[in-house]
Structure 1
C-alpha cells in the first residue's frame, strides 16, 4: 500500500508543478549574468606630456665621478643631483656596453650618513665597476 500525501486515490492532483518554473528562472538568471557588462576599475591619471626636448643625461661612457661635498651635496660629473637622479644615472650606466667606471670621492668633511646613502644607492643599482678616489690625500692623516 502506497502513501498518498493528502489526495484520495483517483482524484486529480491540485498542486502546481514548480519544476518548469525553476528551470525557467535558472535560464533567466544565467542570461542576466551573461548580459551584465564587466565592471572595470580604472584610476584616471594626468600623465605628463612628452615635449621631445630632452637633453641626454650627462653620462660619460668611460668614467663618471660622484663627489659628496661637505655641505651635503651629491655631484655627478660636476653638476648637483639628488639620490633619485643618481639611481637613474647608475641604471643607465649599467645598461651601457662597456660599463663605465664609477669614481666615488667623498670630501673629508662630508657627512657619513650621506656617503652611506650614496653607497646604498650604488649597491641597489648593482654597480659593477666602482672605486674610491682621493684617498691618497688622507694617507698621512693617521
Structure 2
C-alpha cells in the first residue's frame, strides 16, 4: 500500500478589507426607524383636557403701525399722535400683549434721531419686535 500525497487546493486568501456595505444597510434601516418613531415619542402623554370658554388662544400675532412722515409728525395706526401719546399707547399695547410687533414706516428725509426716539418709546413700553417697512427697489 502506497502512501500518496494528498493534494490540497489553495483557497482564497483572507480578505484584508472590511466590507462596509452591510453596516451601511443596517445604519440606514435604523435611521428610518428613528425618523418614524421620533414624532411619536414627543407626544407620548395623552390627555383629555377640560373645556373652558376663557382659554381661547389668541389669533396670529398682532401688530401696530407707527408712521413718521417727512415733517416728523407721528401717526399710530393712521391716527396722528404726539410723542407722549405714542409712548402712552405703546405702553398700553405692551401690557395687553408684549408680543405685539411694531411696523415702523419712516420717510427717507426723517432724521435718524426721530426714528431712534420711536424705537426707544417702543422698547420702554416692553415691545421688542420692530419691523422696518420699506418699498422694494425698482429695477
* TM-score where L is the length of structure 2: 0.49
Larger Rg: 1
* TM-score where L is the length of structure 1: 0.48
More helix by share: 2
